[in-house]
Structure 1
Amino acid sequence: MTLPRLETVKATIEDGIAVVTCDRPPVNAQNRRMREEFIALFDALSDLDEVRVVVLTAAGKYFSAGADIKERADFEETPGYYIGHNRLTREFFYAVSDCSKPVIAAVNGPAFGAGFALMLACDIMFAVEDAYFVMPEIDVGLAGGLKFVADHFGKSRTNAMYLTGRRYPAAELYRLGIIEAALPAEEMWREVMKMAREIASKSPVAVRKIKRAMQVIEEMPTREAYRYEQTVTVDLSHTEDAREAQRAFVEKRQPQFKGR
């Protein structure tokens, strides 16, 4: 299976790790083309057996300046366009969060609005130490992305962030436990790839089912969530990978997973 043709995003695959790089100079603002390419790309990565984990980063100095405001100029003139735009925007984020493979954000610089939400759609998040995060919608007459923020921050911080449009440094998100680390660029990349390789070494079927379980149990009461997790454990126990993992543990060797 080949990857879709891309203009605003780059993708490479090596040793089970897909590296996806936003590349729309100068600030990786999100337009219709980028959203369409993201959806097609992440759907493809979900299906590719050779991909076990995805790293999402960006070229240049910005992770993403958010939505391309210039693109909105003609929205009101075309019936139905805004509705279609909103649908595409929603699926842009869910293409990342719904990807069957874990997605690690390697945030290389500032993330504004929809760029911040894009990071929050990932499963694990790292950032360079001089990155900062802003929800500036209130300053440009818009709203959106509030739920992504509210899922990660407490009530007061979510409201303050959204109603003021203030900048929050990566160090503050690390202090709050939102991101894994805020590090110098080279060190961040080393840690990102170390984690990516570690995840890629696990059973692909287990990783896929565990990621799905995390999403399903998010809104469940604890008792029902645990019951669901137990059904996942039962399903996994019948896989070849589970039997191989248990044999390898007993034999004190590295398992050789086949993804089934």
Structure 2
Amino acid sequence: MEYNTLKVEIADYVAVVTLNRPPVNAQNAENRAEITELFDLLSDMDEVRVIVLTGSGKVFSAGADIRERPNLAGKPGAYGRHNRLVRESYYAVAECSKPIIAAINGPAMGAGFGLVMASDIWVASKDAYVSMPEINVGLAGGLTFVRKYFSQSTARRMFFTGMKVSGDELYRLGLVEASLPADQLMPYCMELAHEIAGKSPTALRLAKEAARMTEVMPVRDAYRYEQGNTVALSKTEDTREAQLAFLEKRKPNFVGR
């Protein structure tokens, strides 16, 4: 897989996706189209069970490439196409069938923070921070997802001021699994990724689907939905193998069905 703004490495069922648009991994139309294409592809790849998403250099992503904005104004349909591309790149990550670990190696700003919020598990370096800085360039970013994670006051302060929230503060708030020195970030994330990749791919797929779908269901319906997944999984080869391996105290050999 060759992309102009992304790097992809796959080994041992783990895909490492690196945002690679120096110097700050700002997202332009090409980058967003590539994100959408890649995550749709990874969703269907049997050789991938977990994805680690990070940024090249010392920045996760500085968000939208502001240099594109003047080219949108006054052109009929331009903003509609732009906004659709932004939405689809976010949802390609959020709706990916594989668990995604965000290795936040530096600032994740605006749409960069959006990619973090689209991921399942967050891990930060001590050099990292998240922010919604659109107000600083005369725009209003997306509060829709920020308020899911922060209190009303903090979310609106971030939205109104562009305030930065550090990796250590994210950890204090329980939003990241760890806030680590930069050289420890990827080893931590890869160890976690390999732990997840060792689980049944069939169960992982339904677990990821349930994690997303039950967020928008009434509690009773969500519980029944998850019980249905358990029943369906109980009839699979992978579940039988997982249970047998547990009893025999050995590593399971999953076949993905």
More deviation, 152-161/203-212: 152-161
> C-alpha displacement at 1:77, in angstroms?
3.1
Match of 1:224 among 210, 213, 221: 221
Distance 1:252 1:27 in 2: 47
Q: 1:198 aligns with which of 195, 198, 217?
A: 195
Q: TM-score, normalised by structure 1?
A: 0.96
The secondary structure found in structure 1 opposite 2:149 is coil
Instruction: Say if 2:71 is the partner of 1:74.
Output: yes
Q: Does 1:129 pair with 2:123?
A: no
Q: 1:236 aligns with which of 215, 233, 239?
A: 233
In structure 2, how many angstroms separate the alpha carbons of the residues matched to 1:250 and 1:170? 41
Distance 1:52 1:171 in 2: 29
Report the CA distance between 1:143 and its aligned residue: 2.0
Name the count of aligned residue pairs.
257
What is the CA-CA distance between 1:221 and the residue it aligns to?
2.2
Deviation of 1:139 after TM superposition, in Å, equals 1.6
Which of 86, 90, 95 in structure 2 is aligned with 1:93?
Answer: 90
Q: In the alignment, is residue 109 of structure 1 matched against residue 86 of structure 2?
A: no
How far apart in 2 are the matches of 1:135 and 1:95? 21
8 Å Cα contact 2:28-2:64 kept in structure 1: yes
Q: Secondary structure at the match of 1:106?
A: strand
CA separation in 2, counterparts of 1:18 and 1:221? 34
Amino acid at match of 2:140: A
Q: Give 2:121's aligned amino acid.
A: I
**What CA distance in whole angstroms lies between the structure 2 residues aligned with 1:12 and 1:252?**
32
Please list, as runs of the form range in 1=range in 2, the aligned pairs for 1:25-104 lying within 5 A after superposition.
Answer: 25-104=22-101
Query: Among 111, 127, 144, which residue is 2:141 paired with?
Result: 144
Tell me, yes or no, if structure 1 residue 169 matches structure 2 residue 166. yes
Q: Give me the TM-score of the superposition, normalised by structure 2.
A: 0.97
Mapped partners of 1:117, 1:39: distance in 2: 14
* Among 14, 17, 29, the residue aligned to 1:17: 14
- What is the identity, as a one-letter code, of the residue corresponding to 2:204? V
> Percent identity among equivalent residues?
58
Secondary structure of 1:77 counterpart: coil
Matched, 1:211 2:208: yes
SS in 1 for 2:188: helix
- Structure 1 residue matching 2:165: 3-state secondary structure: strand
Aligned to 1:157: 154
Quote how far apart the aligned CAs of 1:214 are: 0.8
- Structure 1 residue ranges, 4+ long, deviating more than 2 angstroms after superposition: none
Aligned Cα RMSD in Å? 1.0
Secondary structure of 1:242's counterpart equals helix
Aligned counterpart in structure 1 of residue 252 of structure 2, from 229, 251, 255: 255
Structure 2 unaligned runs (5+)?
none
2:132–2:141 CA contact under 8 A, matched in 1: no
Which of 159, 172, 181 is residue 184 of structure 1 equivalent to?
A: 181
Determine the C-alpha separation between the residues in 2 that align with 1:134 and 1:254. Answer: 42
